[in-house]
Amino acid sequence: MIDKLKEHIAEVEQFTTDSKEAVEAFRIKYLGKKGLLNDFFAEFKNVASDQKKEFGQTINTLKQVATEKVNALKDNLENQSDHVGEYNDLTRPGEPIEIGARHPISIVKNQIIEIFSRIGFNVSEGPEIEDDWHNFTALNLPEYHPARDMQDTFFVQTNPDVLLRTHTSSVQVRYMENNQPPIRTISPGRVYRNEAISARSHCFFHQVEGLYIDKNVSFADLKQTLQFFTTELFGKSKIRLRPSYFPFTEPSAEVDVYWGLETETDYRMTKGTGWLEIMGCGMVDPNVLTNCGINAEEYSGFAFGMGIDRIALLLHQISDIRLLSENDVRFLEQFRGAL
């Protein structure tokens, strides 16, 4: 009888399968209620006294080996099932994984932030839903000021003091209210104006505005900062500043960069002049500093602002600003791999 047990032990050790049904049949054969182990335990009483110890040890060995074999086979089958579930059918042809692309607005915004961070500017952000004080009044645009007409505004119907911000200058106001000079910050973000949508304009777009406040800041500092920026971003170092008007800066200027006339596109973008307007700038009006709690007798500063969308159109030769907000995958795929 003991020899028969040892034969079963050898059989159990050699058994292998990749079928759940076969594993279950094997378990029932040895470990089931009517399995061989129960039969052997039932024979224990008929074994000679001098063989009972060895017989009992052999039965326990068979039970242990059979149990370990069943558990090992089940674990192996479960691991195979998980593997197939993760990778599906390995015989199927592979399909390429589609890699996403950064939006051109994000690409240009990150480039601008990186350039100004190299000369000490940090990034400040604020709410897109603003109040009248931060969007207009603090910026030298009191109620009924005619310059408010320059920015067609989306007001909240239930509260005329609440609006969608028309520029990120409101972020600069909030920053000046909570920080004392020296201040060197840029404010990227989305802004809204009630304008007709066309290939060149939209009712919402993106801006980056910069602010530098310290002692003895001059217009020469402003020009040198913009000179550095245009050289780094466009690779073009020739700029010009034309007198202009903004309620929150005095004096104020429009900034043009010499784009050149090398291609037909250059002629079209610059209207045959070679010069391209990219931003507005100026020295911060003392009234704005006072409104924000900064001593205008001790400090001065400059500010500038540019449209990210327009720069993206220039850098990537995009003909229609509406493409930037339509989320057409075919359009966005062109920027795959860009940082």
Helix axes 219-234, 308-315, angle to 10 degrees: 40
Q: What is the mean pLDDT of the chain?
A: 84
> Among residues 87, 114, 130, which one ends one of the domains?
87
Residue 328 domain-assigned? yes
Domain extent, residue 6, equals: 2-87
| 257, containing H or E segment | strand 249-258
Strands 249-258 and 159-164: unpaired
Question: Based on the domain organization, do 46 and 164 belong to the same domain?
Answer: no
**Which of 47-51, 82-86, 123-127, 168-172 has the lowest average pLDDT?**
82-86
Question: Based on the domain organization, do 24 and 119 belong to the same domain?
Answer: no
What pLDDT, on a 0 to 100 scale, did the predictor assign at position 100? 75
**Which of 227-231, 243-247, 262-266, 280-284 has the lowest average pLDDT?**
262-266
What pLDDT, on a 0 to 100 scale, did the predictor assign at position 27? 82
Find the radius of gyration of the CA atoms of the chain: 38
Tell me the mean pLDDT in the region 280-292.
95
Does the structure show a pLDDT above 70 at 51?
A: yes
Does the structure show a pLDDT above 90 at 298?
A: yes
What pLDDT, on a 0 to 100 scale, did the predictor assign at position 62? 76
Does the structure show a pLDDT above 80 at 156?
A: no
pLDDT > 70 in the chain, percent: 92
What pLDDT, on a 0 to 100 scale, did the predictor assign at position 14? 82
> Among residues 25, 56, 87, which one ends one of the domains?
87
Question: Based on the domain organization, do 108 and 245 belong to the same domain?
Answer: yes
In this predicted model, what pLDDT tens digit does every residue of 4-17 receive, in sequence order?
Answer: 777 777 887 888 88
When comparing pLDDT for 148 and 227, which is higher? 227
**Tokens linked to 59:** 């039965």
**Which of 53-67, 245-259, 318-332 has the lowest average pLDDT?**
53-67
Residue 123 phi/psi, 5-degree rounding, is -110, 130
Residue 96 domain-assigned? no
Question: Based on the domain organization, do 308 and 279 belong to the same domain?
Answer: yes
In this predicted model, what pLDDT tens digit does every residue of 235-251 receive, in sequence order?
Answer: 877 899 999 999 899 99
CA distance 324 to 199: 11
When comparing pLDDT for 30 and 223, which is higher? 223
In 3-state terms, what secondary structure has residue 310?
Answer: helix
Enumerate the β-bridge partners of residue 258. 275
CATH code, domain with 213: 3.30.930.10
If one counts the domains in the chain, the total is 2
Tell me the mean pLDDT in the region 221-226.
95
Residue 51 phi/psi, 5-degree rounding, is -110, -5
Question: Based on the domain organization, do 181 and 292 belong to the same domain?
Answer: yes
CA distance 218 to 215: 9
In this predicted model, what pLDDT tens digit does every residue of 56-99 receive, in sequence order?
Answer: 787 788 788 888 888 888 888 777 665 555 556 667 666 777 77
Contacts of 37 (CB under 8 A, 6+ apart): 30, 31, 59, 62, 63, 66
Place of tokens 């690409």: 107
**Which of 29-38, 115-124, 142-151, 182-191 has the lowest average pLDDT?**
142-151
Does the structure show a pLDDT above 80 at 209?
A: yes
Question: Based on the domain organization, do 72 and 171 belong to the same domain?
Answer: no
Does the predicted model carry a pTM greater than 0.75?
no
Place of tokens 């224990």: 44
